[in-house]
Structure formats: C-alpha cells, structure tokens
Structure 1
Amino acid sequence: MKRIQRVDLIHGPILPAILSFAFPILLSNIFQQLYNASDVMIVGHFLGSKSLAAVGSTAAIFDLIIGFALGVGNGMGIIIARNYGANRLDQLRKSVAATAVIGGGLSLVVMLLGYFGLYPLLEFLGTPSSIIGQAYLYISTIVNCVAVTFAYNLCAGLLRAVGDSLAALYFLMIAAVLNIFLDLYFITQLHWGVQSAGIATIIAQGISALLCLLYIRKKVPFLLPHRKDFVWDKELYQDLLSQGLAMGLMTSIVSIGTVILQSAINQLGTTIISAQVAARRIMSFAVLPITAIASSITTFISQNFGAEQFQRIKKGITITNLLSWGWSVLVAALLFFTSPSLTSFISGSSNPDLIANASLYLQISSCFYPILASLIILRNALQGMGKKLTPLTSSFIELFGKIFFVVFIIPYTGYMGVILCEPLIWIPMTLQLFVTYRKIKHQLLA
C-alpha cells in the first residue's frame, strides 16, 4: 500500500516529525479550550458573577466528561495507529468498526448516568443553592448530548492515528469560532441565559464531528469499515475496550479527584469559585504545548511500536521530555508576572479578591510545571507502548491524594491547601511513572 501523505513518524529525523505532528494538535487543543473558555468569558461579561460561578462550579464535571471522551478516543486510536504502523489494513478497518460500536455504547451509558445522577452530584458537591439551578441547566445540556462529543473525539482520533493532525484542526477552528458567535447570539439576542453556553458548545462540536467524517470519507477512505468489518471479534473488542477505558478512566479518575476537590472549593464561597475557574482556565492554556507534545509521542510510539523500531522510541521520549521541560520553565516565568491581567481578562472581573486569589494559585502552581511536564510525557509514552495499568495507577495516586487534602488539609489551611494540593501530588505520581519506565526501557527497549 502506498502511504498517504501525512506526517511520517516512522522514518527520518525525529524532532521535525514530532514538531510537525504536535503543532496542529497544539492549535486543536487551544481551540478545544476556547469552547469552555469562551463560555466562561461571555457568561462572566454578560450574565454576571453568579452565572460565572454557576459555570465554574461545573468545571470539574465538564472536564470529567470531555476527558473521558477524549481519553477513550485516544486510547482506541493507539490500537489503530499500531495497525497502521504495521500496515495491517484489514485489521485497521475492523478496529474502526469496533471503535464506532464501543463509542456508541459508552455514550448511552454516560447519558443514562447523567440523567439520574447529575443533580444529586451537584448537591453532593455543595454547589450553593443560589447557583445550582443555573449550574444544572448548563452541564445537563452537555451531558445529554455527550454522543456528539464522543463522535468528534473518535473521528479526530482516527485521523491522528494515521498521522493527520492537521485536518481535525481546521474543523475545530471553524467550530470554535462558531461557538463564540452562537454564545453571543443565544445570550444577548435570545436571552436563553446560562443554558445558551451549553447549547452553543454542542452545536459547534456536532459540526466538527460531521466535517471530520466527511473528510475521512473523501480523503482517507481506507479508514472507513465495510459491512463485513462489523463482526464480533472478542480479542479485538477486549483490546480496544481495555485500551480505551484505560485512558478514559485514567482521565476520569483524575477528574473525579478534581470533582472532590471542587466540593471543598465550593465551601469557600462564590468569589473563590470564580477565582479558581479563571485560574484553571489560564493553567489549561499554559500547559497546552506540553499536552500536545505528549499526544504526539503517544501516536509516535504506537506507530513505531507496530513497526518494531524500539531505539527510535527511546530517542523520541528523550526529545519530548526536553521540549516539555523548556516550555514549562518559560511559561512559569511568564505567569509570575502576567497572572493578574490574565485573570481579569478571562473572568471579566475587577474584583481585587478574585484577581489576587487566582494569581496566587497560578504563581505557586506554575513552579511545579517541570514536574507536571515529566508526568504527562511519561504517562502518554507508557500508554503508547500498550502499558495500561501503570498510568491508571498514577491516576489513583492523584485521586487518593486529593481525597486526603479535602479531608485533612483544606479544612485547616483554606485556599492555600487548594493551591498546594495538585502540585504536591504530582511529585509521587511522576516518581512512580519514572521507576516503571526505567524497568520497561531495560526489558522491552534494550
């Protein structure tokens, strides 16, 4: 088979290949963040601080849903990338067919769980009574249409699995811009309130999914399964489901810990809630280059693993670690000076307490970004090698660490405990992944 003209991750210089593949992922991640960041900014500017706090109080739940969908798509994409690297097209199409079936089933499960458990979850998290109604309207819209989120992430995962990180970017850019215009129209013209942000997000993601699917049909039709590919293959389904759920659950467990942490934040009042959501959005943008590099190394390793190029894998991991460390040091220095102005811009607020608390969070947590960089790179590298348990274990470390902080630390230290919670947990997580990687490097990649 003549390979399509995508980024070649199996041959040639490693650094240019990784950068070429990672840059569109970075831009995609930026526009993905714009979905919720635009919601936060527009809601804050036009609907006020209570509506902003309502959206902010659901941030952890939003990240849980989006993270699970993205993790499942990327996880199953690892199997597809491996088949592509080994040039097994028949198995690749069967994998795509199974991926579609699994994605549909998981969407239904998430929708049912959200229907019965979403409002009780908001109550459990201690969402203030003054904003819980608006919070439910916003997040229930996202959950009820989670199939759209799954569809986009699965289609984008397919394109990235075969080395095409650029096409999904174009579709996402269109959708992100559309989301902003829909937000403004629904809120300022139709006066639908905070629910407008959720509706706009779903419409925009739906357009992304449709455009992605049309592109695959026209440009990379070998990805599309035939009717004969929709067959029961127990081993294949187990492999895809375990890999997809491993990455989806890994992200979800992290988000569950964040949801638990959110329950402690919600007890500190609406000003702290708004400060935290603004700071978290800024942090999400700050670490996007690291997550883009990490996403590229997952596909890089998956394809080279299928091609049995093990020495190339070792070099790729070293290069991506150096890149992510360099960025983390640079962004930490920038955030130290620009946090107040960035917080004011994101939140649309001039409240000095809000700005001071958000800035303090960013200035302290950014000092730990080099550790976070190693954590993200190692976790994605191990996933690309098919090591499902170790990254999942690191997520459990984070979950139990957050529970410990919520129960024993934050009640006595207040917001400072919230600030230090995640950075201090990153340290044992990174050590656990590093020890495992060294063992695998000697055994598998010697």
Structure 2
Amino acid sequence: MKKKGMDLTEGPIFKKLVIFVLPIIASSLLQQFYNTADQMVVGKVAGVDAHAAVGATTYMTNLLLNLFVGMSIGATVTCAKYFGAKDREGIHRTVHTSIALALFGGVIIGIVGLFVSKPLLSLLDTPKGILDRASNYMSLILAGSPFSLVYNYGAGLLRASGDTKRPLYILSISGLINVILNLVFVICFNMEEVGVGLATVISQMVSSVSVVLILIKRDDEMHFEPRRMRFHKAEFLNILRVGVPSGLNAILFNFANLSLQSTVNSFGKEYISANTAAASITNYISLTQNAVGTGIVSFVGQNYGAKRYDRIKKVVNIGLLTLFAVSSVMALVLALMPETLLGLFTKEAVVAKYGVGKALMVGVGYIIFIPSVVYAAALRGMERSKTPMNVNIISICVSRLAWLHLVYPLFEGSTLMRFNLIFVCLPMSWLFSSIAMSIAFYMLKKKFPKTPEKESPTE
C-alpha cells in the first residue's frame, strides 16, 4: 500500500497521536473561529433579533443532520479497520460507498428541510418575532446538506488513512471564504441571517468539492471515481452497523437539547442571544475534546484492524491525560474573564451579563465529560457503537429530560437564577455518562487478547 497517510499501528504512540490529532484540533478550532466570526458579525452588526434567529435553529438543525453525520463515523471506522488489516479492495469499496451515502443523505435532508423548518421551530416555542427569520436561515442551512455531508464523509476517510493535514487545509480556505462572504452579505448588502446562511452554504460547497478532488487525484486504494460510486453491500452494512448507533446517539443528544432550547426560548430573545453567545465560547472546549475523540476513533480503528490491543490501551490513557490538561487550561481562561469574552458576541451589555452563568457552568463542566469522550471514541473505533448509544440514552437524555420536566419546575427565584438553573442538567448528565462509559470500557478491556509489546521505550 502506498503511504499517502500515516500508519498508526507502529511506532511511538504519543508522538504519532500528537502529530495525528493536532491538525484535527486545529481544524475544529479554526472552524469554530470562523463560526465565532459569523456570530460576531451577526450579533454586532445585525443585532439581537438576527443573532437570536440564528441561535434558535442550532439544536433542530443538528437533530435533522446528525443521523447521517453520525454515520460518517461508521465510514471512518470501516476504512480505518481496512487500513489496519491492509485490505486495499475493502478501502476502495468503502470510499465509493461512503460518498454515495453522503450524497443520498444530503439530498433527503435538504428536501425535507424546506418543508419542516418552520413547523419544527414553532414546536420549540420560538418567539414569533424571530420565527420567520429563524425558519429562513434553517431552510438555507439544510439546503446545503449535500455539501456538508460530502465534506464530513470525505474528511473522515482521509483521517482513517492517517491524513489529517489536508482536511485542515480545506477548512482554512473555505472558512476564510465564509468570513469574507459574511462581511460582504451582512455589512454591504444588509442580508443579516440570510447572508450568514448563504455564506455558510457557499463555503461548504468549496469544502465538499475540494475533498472530492483530493480523493479523485489519489493514485492509491483511496482513489475515487464518480462513475463507480454505489452502495457495496458488505461495506454499506458495516457503515450502518457502526454508524447508525453513533447517529442515533447524536440525535438523542439533540432531542434532549431541544427540550433545553424550548425552555430557553420561553425567556425571550435576549436570553436566547445570551445562550447563543455562551455556546460560541464553550464550543471551543467541546470541539477540542471532540477533535481528540475523532483522532482516537481512527487510531483505535487501525489498531483494532491490526489486532494491536496493547496500543489501544495506551492511546486511551494518553488521550485522557492530554484532554484533562488542555481542557483545564481552556476552562481557566474562561473563568478569568467570562463577561469580557461574551461581550465579543453582542453589543448589548445585558446579553453578556445573562450568559456568564451558563458559560462558566458548561465550560468548567466539560472537564467532567472527558472520560466519556475518550472511552466512547475507543469503543466506536472497535465497532462497539451500540454501547455509547445505550449509555447516553440513560445518562444523558433521560437525566436531562428528568431535570427539565420534573426537578427544574420546582425552583423559584429571579429570572436570571431560573435561567442559569436550566443548565445544571448538562454537567450532571456528563458525570453520569463518564462513570457509565468508564465501566463499559474497562469491562471490554478485560476481554482483550494478550498481544506482544513491540514498542520502544520512547512511547
């Protein structure tokens, strides 16, 4: 096999994990930076209504997209396993099946989104003053689903082969295009949330075309030929077996979060805007954790295919320590100047004030979630996607819904206090998930076959 990526089954684990994961982290943070620029433009220039309209769509948009986005993990794991096993034909079939699935899913979501955006947002009690604007934005974003999914699947395939740099290059270019178009559409043409949505879709189109061209130009087993794109039964079923539980897990996350969003919506547009601004900050921590998790999926997937169980255990431990260190530093920065950071996203001082409690609770609380992120990624890399799904149904979804519908209504107090109490369910659910996921992983680890230690002391 020609080495266009990185063989993760040999060599020093820490060094390779750092080299492999850093571009993924950079990609995620860069993408969030561009999203931050979007939020700053719409919040500072277009005002509270447009900012709230964009923020009110987040969970519902994710709910519709996440089944197919989650299935991209199935494509990544399947491809990584074939790389570990040195199965060239399996890799080739996985590439063509994955892109076909991405296009199919994107077209379905794009069509459905045109008809259901406004009714679904109405179900969340989105304020009438921003409902039409939120619906227009959501419909536009969902119309770009084919581009979004093709990029996600294509980038996942590249990462499975050990190539994390080119997805970073693609995001660097497309993200810059997104920011420039935002400034043009919002400031020059006064298009507000529609301009932000249009800029996003155009940048996603650039990303998807770029990743497809990279696969077309590959001259190895990753080479993509559009005319050969189809569903190969074995690979398609394996993608579904691993990916559907991951997709359902993401959907269940967002289903619980929809209830949270509905509760936030009842406080009015200033609080919706505050929630959006706080999320724009805490997402930096979340995306860093998810980026490391994404790297662990590919790392574990290759070693699972190569039956290198000794390396799987080591990469999990390294992932835990790395995330604890990085997340703690990021949470400390947030804790030192929360209102200053929130002020970057809004021209309304009261909105920044409202967002402080949520930003601190969630930003610091993400540290609790680290074991769940790492162990779930390892389980998915070993094709055990049902375990994280089952764990999160109870620990995440049930606990959040129980808090929001049974416990939260019992509290009284000021409006701001009741707003902040909404978000107690987040760190609480992360604690439950981390405990359960740790138990699940260690039970599986006991069943690992003994493998010889081949690594050097520099690991």
CA deviations over 1:370-399 (Å, ceiling 9, x no partner): 221111111111100110111111331222
Q: Is the 8 A contact 2:29 2:288 kept in 1?
A: no
Letter in 2 for 1:441: K
Q: Distance in 2 between matches of 1:277 and 1:117?
A: 22
Task: Give 1:310's aligned residue.
Answer: 309
Q: Distance in 2 between matches of 1:377 and 1:305?
A: 16
Q: Distance in 2 between matches of 1:334 and 1:36?
A: 20
Q: Distance in 2 between matches of 1:332 and 1:257?
A: 24
Deviation at 1:138, TM superposition (A): 0.8
Task: Give 2:431's aligned residue.
Answer: 427
Q: What secondary structure does 1:130 align onto?
A: helix
Deviation at 1:226, TM superposition (A): 5.3
Q: Is the 8 A contact 2:216 2:225 kept in 1?
A: no
Letter in 2 for 1:316: V
Query: Does residue 1:349 correspond to 2:353, yes or no?
Result: no
- What is the TM-score of this pair, normalised by structure 1? 0.94
Letter in 2 for 1:121: L
Q: Distance in 2 between matches of 1:226 and 1:186?
A: 36
Q: Distance in 2 between matches of 1:220 and 1:402?
A: 48
Letter in 1 for 2:3: R
Identity of aligned residues (%): 27
Change (3 A) 1:303 1:416: same
Task: Give 2:386's aligned residue.
Answer: 389
Q: Distance in 1 between matches of 2:234 and 2:125?
A: 43
Q: Is the 8 A contact 1:94 1:225 kept in 2?
A: no
* Mapping of residues 279-290 of structure 1, within 5 Å: 279-290=278-289
Q: Distance in 1 between matches of 2:226 and 2:151?
A: 22
Task: Give 1:234's aligned residue.
Answer: 233
Q: Distance in 1 between matches of 2:149 and 2:142?
A: 11
Deviation at 1:35, TM superposition (A): 4.4
Deviation at 1:81, TM superposition (A): 0.9
Judge which range, 156-165 or 228-237, deviates more.
228-237
Deviation at 1:287, TM superposition (A): 3.1
Q: Distance in 1 between matches of 2:270 and 2:120?
A: 21
- What is the TM-score of this pair, normalised by structure 2? 0.92
Q: Distance in 2 between matches of 1:403 and 1:220?
A: 50
Change (3 A) 1:307 1:212: same
Q: What secondary structure does 2:118 align onto?
A: helix
Deviation at 1:116, TM superposition (A): 2.9
Deviation at 1:303, TM superposition (A): 0.3
CA deviations over 1:248-267 (Å, ceiling 9, x no partner): 22222212221221001000
Q: Is the 8 A contact 1:51 1:134 kept in 2?
A: yes
Q: What secondary structure does 1:324 align onto?
A: helix
Q: What secondary structure does 2:446 align onto?
A: helix
Change (3 A) 1:228 1:85: farther
Task: Give 2:43's aligned residue.
Answer: 44
Query: Does residue 1:416 correspond to 2:420, yes or no?
Result: yes
Task: Give 2:164's aligned residue.
Answer: 165
Q: Distance in 1 between matches of 2:301 and 2:116?
A: 36
Deviation at 1:445, TM superposition (A): 4.7
Deviation at 1:157, TM superposition (A): 0.9
Deviation at 1:180, TM superposition (A): 0.6
Counterpart of 1:401 (choices 399, 402, 410) is 399
Deviation at 1:228, TM superposition (A): 9.3
Letter in 2 for 1:351: A
Task: Give 2:249's aligned residue.
Answer: 250
Q: Distance in 2 between matches of 1:57 and 1:335?
A: 23
Judge which range, 56-65 or 368-377, deviates more.
56-65
Q: Distance in 2 between matches of 1:343 and 1:380?
A: 31
Q: Distance in 1 between matches of 2:226 and 2:338?
A: 54
Q: Which ranges in structure 1 are unaligned for 5 or more consecutive residues?
A: none
Q: What secondary structure does 1:296 align onto?
A: helix
Q: Is the 8 A contact 2:96 2:228 kept in 1?
A: yes
Q: Distance in 2 between matches of 1:232 and 1:202?
A: 26
Task: Give 2:17's aligned residue.
Answer: 18
Q: Distance in 2 between matches of 1:295 and 1:121?
A: 30
Letter in 2 for 1:408: L
Task: Give 1:149's aligned residue.
Answer: 148
* Mapping of residues 69-148 of structure 1, within 5 Å: 69-148=68-147
Q: Distance in 2 between matches of 1:29 and 1:319?
A: 20
Deviation at 1:329, TM superposition (A): 2.1
CA deviations over 1:31-73 (Å, ceiling 9, x no partner): 2223432222111111111111111111222443554454222
* Mapping of residues 356-375 of structure 1, within 5 Å: 356-375=353-372
Q: Distance in 1 between matches of 2:182 and 2:360?
A: 31
Q: What secondary structure does 1:131 align onto?
A: helix
Deviation at 1:406, TM superposition (A): 2.3
Q: Distance in 1 between matches of 2:191 and 2:26?
A: 30
Q: Distance in 2 between matches of 1:56 and 1:33?
A: 14
Query: Does residue 1:440 correspond to 2:444, yes or no?
Result: yes
Q: What secondary structure does 1:287 align onto?
A: helix
Change (3 A) 1:445 1:363: farther
Q: Is the 8 A contact 2:74 2:238 kept in 1?
A: no
Task: Give 1:211's aligned residue.
Answer: 210
Task: Give 1:268's aligned residue.
Answer: 267
CA deviations over 1:342-367 (Å, ceiling 9, x no partner): 1001x222423x22231212222333
Letter in 2 for 1:420: V
Deviation at 1:219, TM superposition (A): 3.9
Task: Give 2:453's aligned residue.
Answer: none
Deviation at 1:128, TM superposition (A): 0.2
Judge which range, 316-325 or 405-414, deviates more.
405-414
Number of aligned residues: 443
Deviation at 1:24, TM superposition (A): 0.5
Judge which range, 425-434 or 285-294, deviates more.
285-294
Q: Distance in 1 between matches of 2:270 and 2:423?
A: 15
Q: Distance in 1 between matches of 2:310 and 2:99?
A: 33
Letter in 2 for 1:407: H
Q: Distance in 2 between matches of 1:71 and 1:444?
A: 26
Q: Distance in 2 between matches of 1:233 and 1:170?
A: 30
CA deviations over 1:79-121 (Å, ceiling 9, x no partner): 0111011111111111112212222222233224323322111
Q: Distance in 2 between matches of 1:31 and 1:329?
A: 20
